[in-house]
Structure formats: structure tokens, C-alpha cells
Amino acid sequence: MSQREIDSLGAADLQIVGLRIWVHGRQFPDSTDYWDGNWLRITAYCMVGESRVRVHGSVVHLSEIAGLLRGCESLSETLAGRTGLDSMEQNLKLELVAKKLGRVAVDIQITPEPMRESHRFRDEIDQTNLPAIIAACARILEKYPLRGRPQLQARGGAPGLPH
């Protein structure tokens, strides 16, 4: 992805160290059910040192953004534990783990081709970065509220669990 392409996306909706995520809209804008109605079309771009990886498509569910928001709120309050963006898709994973002295370890796994390649980036942030992550997640959820309820979906299997 060239710098011009990155610039054309504008400000990222969510940024955590070298990972930037832009939300382009819902995959199925007319769907109101929990599963189909909450998939987001995104561009995720991670740049650390000389390495750059981009993922584009419907690889993040709004429930995962909500989970990251709740987890970061907990990390910020307790300075203990872990949270992340644990995508059901294999293209993007993010883990934040509280460490000593207010530091938070960041582990980013991102790949456009999960069956053929993998990319992992590790970094750290300070606890003072958590409010910006919380605010970014809240803005995404305000713009794209969660639709439906997982326990009301009749897709077989256990209620609330993806297939």
C-alpha cells in the first residue's frame, strides 16, 4: 500500500501502535440480524519498521469491537489482565496484556492470506494510551451500533456462538 493510498483513507478509525484500522461500512448494510448485520468492511494496515501488511475485507465483527472496548476499560481500571480483538476470521488478531509499571504489551497478528502466510508484530504502549483506544472503539460502535441479539438467532448450535 503506497503512502498516497494510505493518505486517501484519511484518519484511521482505530490506531494501536503500528496498526491502523479504517471502517468503510457494514458488509450487509440492510441486514438487521446479529450475525450478518454486524460484519464490518475494513482496511487494516500494520507498519512496524520496514515491514508492512494490509488486510482488506469483512474480517471484523462489531461484537469484537465491543469486546475490545470492554476489555480496554477493564485494563485501564485495574492495570491487570488481558484483552484483544479476537476476530472470528484469521486475518487479524490483537492482544493487549497488562505488564508492570503501567506498560501494556501489544501483539498483532495480521495476514491477507491465512493459509499461506503469517505476520506477527510485538510492541508496547503505556496505560495512558488506553483511553484513546476506548474512545475509538466507542466512536465505531456509535456510528455502527450492534444489531440484533445473538441468543435470538436460529443458526443451530449453542446460542451466541459463531459457526
161 lies in some domain = no
HSE on the CB side for 163, CA within 13 Å? 11
124 lies in some domain = yes
Assign 21 a pLDDT band (cuts: 50, 70, 90): very high
Closest residue by Cα to residue 52 from 99, 103, 121? 121
Per residue in 110-132, pLDDT tens? 999 999 999 999 999 999 999 99
Grid cell 468503510 — which residue? 24
Q: How many CB atoms lie within 10 A of CB 141?
A: 14
How many domains, in total, are found in the chain?
Answer: 1
The mean-pLDDT minimum among 67-81, 105-119, 145-159 falls in 145-159
Per residue in 26-57, pLDDT tens? 999 999 999 999 999 999 999 998 999 999 99
The mean-pLDDT minimum among 7-16, 80-89, 147-156 falls in 147-156
Q: Containing domain of residue 55, as a range?
A: 3-152
117 lies in some domain = yes
CATH code, domain with 111: 3.30.2450
30 lies in some domain = yes
Give residues with Cβ within 8 angstroms of 102, minimum separation 6: 79, 126, 127, 128
C-alpha cell at 161: 456462538
Grid cell 508492512 — which residue? 52
17 lies in some domain = yes
163 lies in some domain = no
25 lies in some domain = yes
162 lies in some domain = no
5 three-state secondary structure? helix
